[in-house]
Amino acid sequence: MSKIVVIGGGPAGMFAAYELSKNGQEVTLVEAGFDVEERKKAIAQEDSAGQNYISGMGGSGTFSDGKLNLHPLIGGDLMEFVPRSRADELISYIDSIFTRHGVSQKAEISPDARKLEIRAMKEGLKYIPIRQKHIGSDVLPSVVVSINKEMESFGLEVLIKTAATDLIIKNGKVTGVKIKKGTKESILPADYVIIAPGRAGSQWLLDLAKKKGIGFRYGPLDIGVRVEVPDEVMEDTTKISWDPKFHIRTKKYDDFVRTFCTNPSGFVITENYGKFVSVNGHSMKNKTSHNTNFAFLVRINLTQPVENTTQYGRSICMLATTIGGGKAIVQRLGDLKAGHRSTWERINKSYVEPTNKDVTPGDIAMAMPARIVEDLVEGLDQLAKVILGVNDQSTLLYAPEVKFKSIRLDITKQLETVQVKNLFTAGDGAGVSGGIIPAAATGLITAREILKRCK
């Protein structure tokens, strides 16, 4: 029997390990963080803003909000790897596993979605109708615990608090993984390896690729702000879809701007990346605010002489964190347009009460490149043609919000690296997805390819 090592216990690694172990393969999953029960306990004890999720089994966002976007073009493009019919089948399969483990909500497209699509089109925006489920950060941990238990019943071995540190490669083929638990180092022999380390592991993957001579390229950067408005402004739209996806092309620069990760009655949170902070948002099933927040992001691709979008994004975030005195910045859209900073006094005068007060009222124009700021302001004005009031002067903008797209290794359609045989990559860390469903789907693609070869 073949030995398979999966690196990373996020959706990509979990679903790959699920499929392989369900089909009788000998699989070891290596996860650097905590186990699923420990994470569940830690989250239950956290503050209501749900900050500082401890990394571990379940991965990054699986322990946060749990919006499942059941569409092959959201959070990546699955059709890069499989035909549409197979992408749809993979999504249904993932959905069925979540459903069996407690995600009961039905996901239908609202009949009003088509009307919204037409209205948006007439205003020069693109709205993408998709089937969605929202699980909620207070419910999702139990779902992950339940899936985990099923995987273990298939015989999956999980090594927690164990980091993969290196690969053993012989004659162009992977043969093992070096692992480290505490100070103890050892080697796991492997016939196949799936690397799914998420965004947190993307730097490690980059270093590994350089060291092992595996080709790679940088992915695009999505950077911008988190917008916060009263629920009433968004409710006509969020009634149609919980997390509405709008795509905008700005007139001046012809840049791509999009809405992402909408949280009706949700909360804005700050994430600490060590040298800088970035904002995010989430919502819960059982605890609500009066505001809706969403990310509003500009896509940046870099060509010669600098291609490293991660470095560029980090520089912007560091500048924003510097000007925010170590915290994220909040500014009223009206203040940004008027060319002056926000103060608590000005913010307190407006109708939107911030759900994140651990921020510095300031001036986003001092923190971000002019092109990005112009794209954001122009993009919000365009969006307001469909969502009336979203560009009101009291609208709050939190900065920076950043989504780093990891490097993409040179891979085949089966997600196997071109330079090293039997070495596969999946999920966000490998730059092939940006969400729970597509990460899980890429994990399944690698698993099914390995199963085919094992037969």
Residues binding ligand FAD (CB under 6 A): 7-13, 30-33, 55-56, 59-62, 64-67, 69, 75, 163-164, 196-201, 204, 280, 282, 427-429, 434-437, 439
Q: How far is the CB of 433 from ligand FAD (least distance, A)?
A: 6
By beta-carbon proximity to ligand FAD, the closer residue of 11 and 362 is 11
Comparing CB distances to ligand FAD, the nearer of 266 and 361 is: 266
CB of 411 to ligand FAD, least distance (A): 14
The answer to whether 166 and 390 have CB atoms below 8 angstroms apart is no
Minimum CB distance to ligand FAD, residue 369 (Å): 24
Q: Please, what is the minimum distance in Å from the beta carbon of residue 272 to ligand FAD?
A: 12
Report the 3 state secondary structure along the chain.
CCEEEEECCCHHHHHHHHHHHHCCCEEEEECCCECHHHHHHHHHHCCCCCCCCCCECCCCHHHCCCEEEECCCCCCCHHHCCCHHHHHHHHHHHHHHHHHCCCCCCCCCCCHHHHHHHHHHHCCEEEECCEEEECCCCCHHHHHHHHHHHHHHCCCEEECCCEEEEEEEECCEEEEEEEEECCEEEEEECCEEEECCCHHHHHHHHHHHHHHCCCEECCCEEEEEEEEEEHHHHHHHHCCCCCCEEEEECCCCCCEEEEEEEECCCEEEEEECCCCEEEEEECCCCCCCCEEEEEEEEEECCCCCCCCHHHHHHHHHHHHHHHCCCCCEEEEHHHHHHCCCCCHHHHHHCCCCCCCCCCEECCHHHCCCHHHHHHHHHHHHHHCCCCCCCCCCCCEEEEEEEEECCCEECECCCCEECCCECEEECCHHHCCCCCHHHHHHHHHHHHHHHHHHHC
CB of 34 to ligand FAD, least distance (A): 9
Q: Report, in Å, the least distance between residue 84 CB and ligand FAD.
A: 20
Least separation in angstroms between residue 281's CB and ligand FAD is 8
Residue closer to ligand FAD by CB (options 331, 433) is: 433
* Minimum CB–partner distance for residue 344 and ligand FAD (Å): 26
* Beta carbon nearer to ligand FAD, 30 or 227: 30
